[in-house]
Structure 1
Amino acid sequence: MRRRRPTAFVVVLGLLGLLSGGTSAHAASAPPVFADGHGLTVVSQPKWVDADERTFVFTVRTAQVPAYSVMEGQVSGEHAIMVTLPEGYDQAAATRYPVQYHLHGHPDRPNTAANQRLFEESTVGVPLITVAPNGSGRGWYTNWVYPPAALGPQNWETFHLDQVIPFVDANLRTIPTRDGRAISGHSMGGFGAFHYAEHRPELFGYVGSFSGGLDLLSQEQRVAVVGSTQLSGSGVPTVAVDAIFGPPVWPFDGVWNRESPAQHVGPLRGMGVAMYTGDGGDLTVDTVLAVLENRARATNRVARDHLVAAGIPHTFVDYGDGGGWAEGCTGKHAQFPCLLADMNHFVGLLMDNLTHP
């Protein structure tokens, strides 16, 4: 059968569609518009990351962290926050959704392609908002004891818990209650998730740590934190070794002891708790990442023992070398297949326990 040539009218319509950037399959929509509030000033309004229009990034300023050590591509004092919306968010004007706050690791940032993929792939068909705030390369999700004068306050905990959370609730259709909110994180962010959940248990119905460094009494973990203060790859300028938690040695290490999540699990009672870790697999392959995961596992086991002693129900997934956990996971630290499997499992727990549509 001979195909008909398109008429001039059809060609014109097609050209108009191309010029406007639209297609018949997907009409472009604008991301939400955010208003200043709760101590945050919007520097740049949300912009979609790509044409799928599920994830957007915006930036804010806050007096709680007016400047910070920056990595390449960051602007000191401007805090990027990445948000992944549920599919159909803009078509369900009366629907409210639970929120998962996910804290990135060290040295990382919230608005990476890997984090976007992690959030989007784990929430396909899931009515859940994911929010990833900036935690700096070495913020460690705490209010610093001795912030350098050149940077000013480094009150990361106050910024996230007292500003970002109510700000998101004010600007998105969230379920603004404990039963509609979870917190999770990887590595440094896993520490932050447990740290925040223990400090403010009234905010969160579930907490998850993916290979988090949970035991600040561990000398190895202290070395990791102190090392992060001195690495230019974690942000410039570098800072003093005692800037974050104070001196790391006895008898001046009271803040380290007090802020260690593994030994202070009591406030997690009544909250959903999940931990995920590998053992590093073959330590001769990707040795640095293998050892990092192996030692993170040790801190998770300490936290697990304290949860057991306190009689607090929890989920503890130790997937060893990753062979039975996910294809491509070999038990290394910050290995994407492992993290995606962690997130997929954790999101399932959230949907079984949080209030949602």
Structure 2
Amino acid sequence: MIRRLTAVAIAGVLGLPGAGAPATAASGPPVFTDGQGLTVVSQPAWVDGDERTFVFTVRTAQVPAYSVMEGQVSGEHTIMVTLPEGYDQAAATRYPVQYHLHGHPDRPNTVANQRMFEETTVGVPLITVAPNGSGRGWYTNWLYPPASLGPQNWETFHLDQVIPFVDANLRTIARRDGRAISGHSMGGFGAFHYAEHRPELFGYVGAFSGGLDLLSQEQRAAVLASTQLPGSGTPTVPVESIFGPPIWPFDGGWNRESPAQHVASLRGMGVAMYTGNGGDLTVNPVQAIIENRAWATTVVTRDHLLAAGIPHTFVDYGNGSGWAEGCTGKHAELPCLLADMDHFVNLLMATLTHP
């Protein structure tokens, strides 16, 4: 499970084609063309000399502005892509794609995310794409976005624009058996939410410590808190902006969009969930409690999958001691996430169509 990750640490760390033939600059990353409702603001640029991961920026009318964290420009959406080794030497080869959704409050182009994508795909013919979800986007089309921001159609942006845009500009296997979606924390919610809404798009879904049960009052409190925390982006937004009022009988949006209770559409898809229990709750208690509550929402989701007779993988690694070195079962711990991703990539490559 951790074999490829260990090797990297020691070292120091086909079916229907895609819609377009990407241009490639000499000794540079691919060059992208506007389309699918996206305008390219900045072309792909390598993040380092290894030339596997690049970032680019787009604009979209689906999310024309958003609450920004430090260093972000409202309305400009950074997307990070990790290519398989040798991508530029294999001009006729097409690859499966994993879309990975970041957590809250996070962004796609972090060093931690780059490590997650690169270290777990050494020698693996897989493209990974991480789109911007903002600090509090929650991977859904908001019910009541504030007028100051305009539409907050994150789901439409990602599923109807980013995915076909990637297929048009990279050499992908542009169909369900060549596409997966995963995410951690808020992104785990997003991954299940997207897979349930659009099962025709994905062959596999994975959640790493995802908040999957919006019927949980604790999970609702976490979402509501994210609307009010300046660290999740400014300006803050009204509490009902995303899913509507959280109180019965006005909480239909919360009930409707909760992944845990709507697993039926995942039938026939690969499903995997990973979570710790927080470990010692007296050590780093905030992250311990957050993980423990994510664990609870994952257990609820597992129970619904079992009741529906849907095969799935559920890795409950408890305090993390048997999962990965340095993992103590806390929320958003990089050693835990690296182990989650390493295991998940193995599942993908045993299932998705690939070279």
Pairwise TM-score range, normalised by the shorter structure: over 0.9
Match of 1:40 among 38, 41, 45: 38
Query: Any stretches of 5+ residues in structure 1 without a counterpart?
Result: 1-27
Q: CA deviation at 1:89?
A: 0.1
Distance, in Å, in 1 between the alignment partners of 2:138 and 2:240 is 13
In 2, the alpha carbon distance for the partners of 1:64 and 1:245 equals: 17
Equivalent runs, 1:210-225 vs 2, <5 Å: 210-225=208-223
Q: Secondary structure at the match of 2:98?
A: strand
Cα drift, residue 82 of structure 1: 0.1
Whether 2:187 is the aligned partner of 1:192: answer no
Deviation at 1:156, TM superposition (A): 0.1
Distance apart, 1:114 and its partner CA: 0.7
Written as runs of structure 1 = structure 2, the 5 A alignment for 1:218-233 is: 218-233=216-231
Is 1:239 equivalent to 2:237 in the alignment? yes
What is the correspondence of 1:231-310 to structure 2 with a 5 Å cutoff?
231-310=229-308
For residues 92-121 of structure 1, what are the alpha-carbon distances to aligned partners after superposition, in whole Å with 9 as ceiling and x for unaligned? Answer: 000000000000000000000110011000
Residue 319 of structure 1 aligns to a residue whose secondary structure is: strand
Q: Which amino acid aligns with 1:318?
A: D
Over residues 301-336 of structure 1, what are the superposed CA-to-partner deviations in whole Å (9 max), with x where a residue is unaligned? 000000000000000000000000000000000000
SS in 2 for 1:45: strand
1:159-170 matched pairs, under 5 angstroms: 159-170=157-168
Q: Match of 2:227, SS? A: helix
1:78-117 matches, cutoff 5 A: 78-117=76-115
Q: Percent identity?
A: 86
The DSSP-based 3-state class of the residue aligned with 1:324 is coil
The whole-number CA distance in structure 1 between the counterparts of 2:147 and 2:135 is 18
**1:178-198 CA-partner distances (Å, limit 9, x unpaired):** 000000000000000000000
Aligned to 2:14: none
Secondary structure of residue in 1 paired with 2:30 = coil
Mapped partners of 1:270, 1:217: distance in 2? 25
- Counterpart CA distance in 2 for 1:200 and 1:29 is 37
State how far apart, in whole Å, the 1-side matches of 2:330 and 2:211 are. 14
For 2:329, the aligned partner's letter is: G
> In structure 2, the residue corresponding to 1:274 is in which secondary structure?
strand
Q: Say what the alpha-carbon RMSD is for the aligned residues.
A: 0.5
- Partner residue in 1 for 2:17: none
**1:177 CA displacement:** 0.5
* Superposed CA offset, 1:203-255 (max 9, x none): 00000000000000000000000000000000000000000000000000001
Query: What pairs up with 1:45-84 in 2 under 5 angstroms?
Result: 45-84=43-82
Q: Distance in 2 between matches of 1:356 and 1:277?
A: 28
Per-residue CA deviation, residues 53-84 of structure 1 (Å, 9 max, x unaligned), is 00000000000000000000000000000000
CA distance in 2, matches of 1:208, 1:114: 18
The residue number in structure 2 matching 1:179 is: 177
Cα distance, 1:29 vs structure 2: 1.5
1:325-336 matched pairs, under 5 angstroms: 325-336=323-334
Quote the Cα distance in structure 2 between the aligned partners of 1:185 and 1:51. 27
Report the AA paired with residue 317 of structure 1.
V
Q: Which structure 1 residue ranges, 4+ long, deviate > 3 Å from structure 2?
A: none
Structure with higher Rg: it is 1
Residue 200 of structure 2 aligns to which amino acid in structure 1? E
Q: Distance in 2 between matches of 1:276 and 1:311?
A: 19
The letter of the residue matching 1:60 is V
Instruction: Determine helix, strand or coil for the equivalent of 2:350.
Output: helix
Code of the residue aligned with 1:339 in structure 2: it is L
Q: Which residue of 1 aligns with 2:128?
A: 130
Q: Give the residue type in structure 2 aligned to 1:47.
A: A
3-state SS of paired residue (1:47): strand
Mind listing any 5+ residue stretches in structure 2 that lack a counterpart? 1-25
SS of the residue corresponding to residue 226 of structure 1 reads: helix
What is the letter of the counterpart of residue 307 of structure 1?
L
Q: What is the total number of aligned residue pairs between the two structures?
A: 330
Q: Does 1:346 align with 2:334?
A: no
For residue 315 of structure 1, the aligned residue among 313, 316, 322 is 313
In structure 1, distance between residues paired with 2:129 and 2:120: 13
Distance 2:183 2:27 in 1: 30
TM-score, reference length from structure 1? 0.92
Instruction: Tell me the SS of whatever aligns to 1:304.
Output: helix
